[in-house]
Amino acid sequence: MACEHRDSHERHYLPAHNGLIAPHPACRECGYIKNISPDKAKKLGYFANVLAEMKNYRGEKLLSDAQIRLILKELEKVEGFDDDYFMTFTTQKAAFIKAVRKYSSLSPSFVKSFLSS
């Protein structure tokens, strides 16, 4: 069962992504320290929207509904995909490109062009 994560009030002073010490909240439930870098994970809905955009790309149907369902299922299988405490957008992008490539012949750079940087 995945933890919903709720920020604790106390802060842990740890190095952040830029190497500087910064106050990090931890989860009150599981104790996990939150990723506070700007490389913030997005919700699954963001990737569902990206897939919808790819589906109707310039009047061309690049993905079918069945492919989209399979790709989203694949992302749901990635442990903690939606978990913004430890997942980063960079990791999500890699998993997304891999999943799209598994069920379509779209090139990685083309898929990447749909994702914000």
Question: Segment near Zn ion (CB under 5 A), from 11-19, 29-37, 73-81, 97-105?
Answer: 29-37
State the nearest-atom distance from the C-beta of 77 to Zn ion, in Å: 20
The answer to whether residue 27 forms part of the interface with Zn ion (CB under 5 A) is yes
The answer to whether residue 72 forms part of the interface with Zn ion (CB under 5 A) is no
One-letter-per-residue 3-state SS of the chain = CCCCCCEEEEEEEEECCCCCEEEEEEECCCCCECCCCCCECCCHHHHHHHHHHHHEECCEECCCHHHHHHHHHHHHHCCCCCCCCCCEHHHHHHHHHHHHHHHCCCCHHHHHCCCCC
Question: Segment near Zn ion (CB under 5 A), from 20-28, 35-43, 44-52, 92-100?
Answer: 20-28
Q: Which of 7, 29, 65, 76 binds Zn ion (CB under 5 A)?
A: 29
Nearer to Zn ion, 74 or 84 (CB): 84
Q: Which parts of this chain interact with Zn ion (CB under 5 A)?
A: 3, 5, 27, 29-30
